[in-house]
Amino acid sequence: MRHRTVLRPSRPSRRDFLAMAAAAGVAVPLLGCAGGVTDDGGSDDGTGDPGGNLDQVDISPPSQYAGRVNVAMWSAMSGVNGEALAALVESFNQSQEDIYAEVQFQGPYPESAPKLTAALRAGAVPDVMMLADTFWGRFLINDALEPLNGYFDDDFGRDDYVEALYDEGLVGDELYWLSFGRSTPLFYYNKTVFQQLGLPDRGPETWTELREWSAEISQLSVNGQPLKAHAFTGDDDWQFMAATWQFGGKLSEGLDVTIDSGGAVDAARWHQEYIFEDGYGYLAQAAGTDFGTGVVATAITSTGGLRGIYEASASAGFEVGTAFLPKEVASGVPTGGMGFSLLKGAAQERKDAAFQLLKFLGQPENAAEWTLATGYLPIVKASMDVPELAETLASDPNFNVAVEQLPEAQGSDAIRSYLPNGTDLIISGLQRIYSDGSEDPQDVFDEVAEQLRQGVEDIRPAYEEYFG
């Protein structure tokens, strides 16, 4: 009986009921937001148009650009390169009055690509996606990318680009990925150290020659320890693919994995001995940074790192030299870097606007500005005639090395591009070999190859739809 009397005063009035119902009403839309699908209301009137099923990610135009079509670009560039890109996009916004573009940094390639996967699931995507050469393939074979041929016209097209780089974005005759920050690896060496030791002012012809020089380099000391001659990269397999080619092998032929035989195993074994038996090299946290600060005498890293390395070496007080990659039994120069793709599912109005941004970035003076600011390869032929770039190419041999090396360059082995965790598996194996002298490269790559082959089974049907 007593509990009745206790309960009665707590019974709410009709008004309380209404208030609570209203509160519940507030909670439900909040839950809706948490789904991650946002609607800026600005530029997706095209929903319902062909390919208009994907919304746009959040974008917040400053007041002076209000009322324009919004274009969100997801970028993987930070530091010097990120600033250069942001400056170009800002010029784009000032150059016309219809489109507002915003660069949104999403972390380096391995982080930004999974974010695109998540965005596709959530149904709200960027309009322009920066993708590394080894990342766009996985989105291609899952039908996420927009074919671009129809966007080009007579005054802007393949002829304007360095064809070999442009063609890497082709599948058959159709373009899905437009090159922008393209690069090759370069051999960077500390000129000051080389002069001090009386070594020639050039890169080594072969890995064997590097080993000979390393014996001398390690006579010098830094911080009381012998100076290391070469820093190996452990968070990328790009340089290792180059070494594999230089030792006469391949990571894969098409999707047929060959990392467990020939050149790949030879290169890994050579590197491992150089690190652990000779003691000349090491696995670096960031090879480019170590080189720029003078901790190591040589490193292989992207042309796109040139500006950053210049800045660092200036304060460390040494001169930077660049050279072609060393050979061993063959020449091996992979292209790399990034380009832009549009998303198939975005509304047509957004895709049209997004392409205007790509077109702007492909104009000779803008492409030249990008190359000058970063060190990435000139991708637009006419950009090399823009006076500032022409002068730099003529006066700074380091910029020119990459351009001269380009004819030897070729695109990545397919296993890195189409298998989502292809590079991760190779990198993981590589880290084991570079970080532990007791790991046998053959055993490690046998394991890696087995995992790669399992993965290939899943993607082969989709791959063959585009390439079969």
Partner 1 sequence: MTTTTADRQGQTAGASTGGGAPTTRGRRRSRHHWRRRRKEYALFLLMISPNLLIIGTFDYWPVIYNAWLSLTRWNMLSGAPRYVGLQNYENLFSSSSFHGILLNTLTFSAAIVIGSVILGLAVALLFDQKLRGRGIVRTAAFAPHIVSGAAVATLWLFIFDPAYGLTRVVLDPFGVASPRWVNDADWAMIALIIAYLWKGLGFVAIVYLAGLQNLPEELYEAAKLDGAGTWTTFRRITLPLLSPVTFFVLVTSIIGTFQAYDMIAVLTGGGPGDATTTLSWYVYQQGFRASDAGTAAAAAMLLFVILLLVTGLQTRFVQRKVHYT
CA distance 467 to 275: 40
Q: Does 428 bind partner 1 (CB under 8 A)?
A: yes
Choices 222-230, 264-272, 309-317, 332-340; region in contact with partner 1 by CB under 8 A: 222-230
Contact with partner 1 (CB under 8 A): which of 6, 22, 27, 33?
A: 27
| Residue (84 or 297) nearer to partner 1, CB | 297
Q: Does 278 bind partner 1 (CB under 8 A)?
A: no
Whose structure tokens read 């392409």? Answer: 355
Shortest distance, CB of residue 446 to partner 1, whole angstroms?
Answer: 12
Contact with partner 1 (CB under 8 A): which of 400, 447, 460, 467?
A: 447
Choices 71-79, 162-170, 257-265, 276-284; region in contact with partner 1 by CB under 8 A: 276-284
Helices (H), 180-262: 191-197, 207-217, 238-246
Task: Name the token pair of 65.
Answer: 């650009």
| Residue (110 or 262) nearer to partner 1, CB | 110
CA distance 301 to 310: 13
CA distance 111 to 108: 5
Shortest distance, CB of residue 63 to partner 1, whole angstroms?
Answer: 33
Number of residues that bind partner 1 (CB under 8 A): 54
Across the beta sheet with 185-190, the strand order is 281-284, 228-233, 296-302, 185-190, 320-323
Q: Does 436 bind partner 1 (CB under 8 A)?
A: yes
Shortest distance, CB of residue 105 to partner 1, whole angstroms?
Answer: 16
Task: Give the DSSP H or E segment for 73.
Answer: strand 69-75
| Residue (20 or 314) nearer to partner 1, CB | 20
Q: Which of residues 31-60 bind partner 1 (CB under 8 A)?
A: 31, 34
Q: Does 12 bind partner 1 (CB under 8 A)?
A: yes
Shortest distance, CB of residue 323 to partner 1, whole angstroms?
Answer: 24
Shortest distance, CB of residue 431 to partner 1, whole angstroms?
Answer: 4
DSSP string, 321-382: EEEPPPBSSS--EE-EEEEEEEBTTB-HHHHHHHHHHHHHHTSHHHHHHHHHHH-PPP-BGG
CA distance 176 to 189: 36
Task: Name the token pair of 392.
Answer: 């730099």
Residue 325 phi, psi dihedral angles, 5° rounding: -65, 150
What is the distance in angstroms between the CA of the first residue and the CA of the last residue of the chain?
80
| Residue (20 or 215) nearer to partner 1, CB | 20
Q: Does 221 bind partner 1 (CB under 8 A)?
A: no
Q: Which of residues 68-127 bind partner 1 (CB under 8 A)?
A: 110, 114, 117-118, 120-121
Angle at 430 between CA 429 and CA 436, to 5 degrees: 90
Q: Does 144 bind partner 1 (CB under 8 A)?
A: yes
Choices 10-18, 41-49, 65-73, 318-326; region in contact with partner 1 by CB under 8 A: 10-18
Q: Does 315 bind partner 1 (CB under 8 A)?
A: no
Helices (H), 105-206: 109-122, 136-140, 163-166, 191-197
Shortest distance, CB of residue 394 to partner 1, whole angstroms?
Answer: 36
Choices 18-26, 59-67, 85-93, 252-260; region in contact with partner 1 by CB under 8 A: 18-26
CA distance 305 to 175: 27
Choices 62-70, 191-199, 317-325, 455-463; region in contact with partner 1 by CB under 8 A: 455-463
Contact with partner 1 (CB under 8 A): which of 139, 247, 270, 370?
A: 139
DSSP string, 417-447: HHSTTHHHHHHHHHHHHHH-TTS-HHHHHHH
Question: Using CB under 8 A as the criterion, what x/- string covers residues 386-425 for binding partner 1?
Answer: ----------------------------------xx--x-
CA distance 341 to 4: 68
Contact with partner 1 (CB under 8 A): which of 97, 143, 404, 408?
A: 143
CA distance 303 to 398: 9
Contact residues toward partner 1 (CB under 8 A) are: 1, 4, 7, 11-12, 17, 20-21, 23-24, 27-28, 31, 34, 110, 114, 117-118, 120-121, 138-139, 142-144, 222-225, 234-235, 282-285, 290, 293, 295, 420-421, 424, 427-429, 431-432, 434-436, 439, 447, 455, 458, 462
